[in-house]
Each structure stands twice: as structure tokens, then as C-alpha cells.
Amino acid sequence: MSKPSSKVLIDGVKPVRHNWQIRVKVLHCWKQTTAFAGNTLEFILADETGVKIAASCKRNQISHLQRELPVGEWKTIDTFAVLDISGQYRPTTH
């Protein structure tokens, strides 16, 4: 994997690259269980301009990310993938 580029805003993040680096505030976090994905940890994140994005992590990352991404704190994230969202449930517009 290539080295993360300089920080970008959420609006600049696209699915075609995988070496993004963003600084976000964790606005909300909850656990969810679905038939499709099983147990996941869901987040609503916002950048410094207020643009929000939904994030999801799989079961094997839940306890680590609960500690690393507490609600209300600003964090720099550089290890993630961006996927197009589908379906009726969209917690954010981005």
C-alpha cells in the first residue's frame, strides 16, 4: 500500500484511491447487527467544514476502534476504504 497523501476533506474522498488521510470528529457511534453484515460498529464522522460521512467497521475491529475513536474527539484516519453506499438506509448524504 502506498503512503497516505496529505489530509483531504471528506468531499475530496473518492472510491478510486485507497491512500486517503482525513481529520474527522466522531459525532456518533453505535453497534448494529444485520443479516447481511453481522455485527458492525457504525460511526458518523465530520470534517472541519461540517461535511459528514458514515463509516462502518467489521466485528474483528470493533473493540480496537471503540477505544481509538471515542465520540467527541478529533482523529486523523488513514487506513480505510471508501465504498459506494447502496440501499435505503443512508445516515448521511456523503
Domain span at residue 53? 22-77
Q: Is residue 50 part of a domain?
A: yes
Structural domain count, the chain: 1
Per-residue model confidence as pLDDT tens for the chain (94 residues) = 455 567 899 988 888 777 889 999 999 999 988 887 788 899 999 999 999 998 888 889 999 999 999 999 999 998 887 877 665 555 666 5
Q: Is residue 46 part of a domain?
A: yes
Q: Is residue 85 part of a domain?
A: no
* Three-state SS letters, the chain: CCCCCCCECHHHCCCCCCCCCEEEEEEEEEEEEECCCEEEEEEEEECCCCCEEEEEEEHHHHHHHHHHCCCCCEEEECCCCCCCCCCCCCCCCC
Predicted confidence at residue 1, as pLDDT, reads 47
Q: Is residue 73 part of a domain?
A: yes
Q: Is residue 66 part of a domain?
A: yes
Q: Is residue 83 part of a domain?
A: no
Q: Is residue 57 part of a domain?
A: yes
Predicted confidence at residue 92, as pLDDT, reads 63
Q: Is residue 43 part of a domain?
A: yes
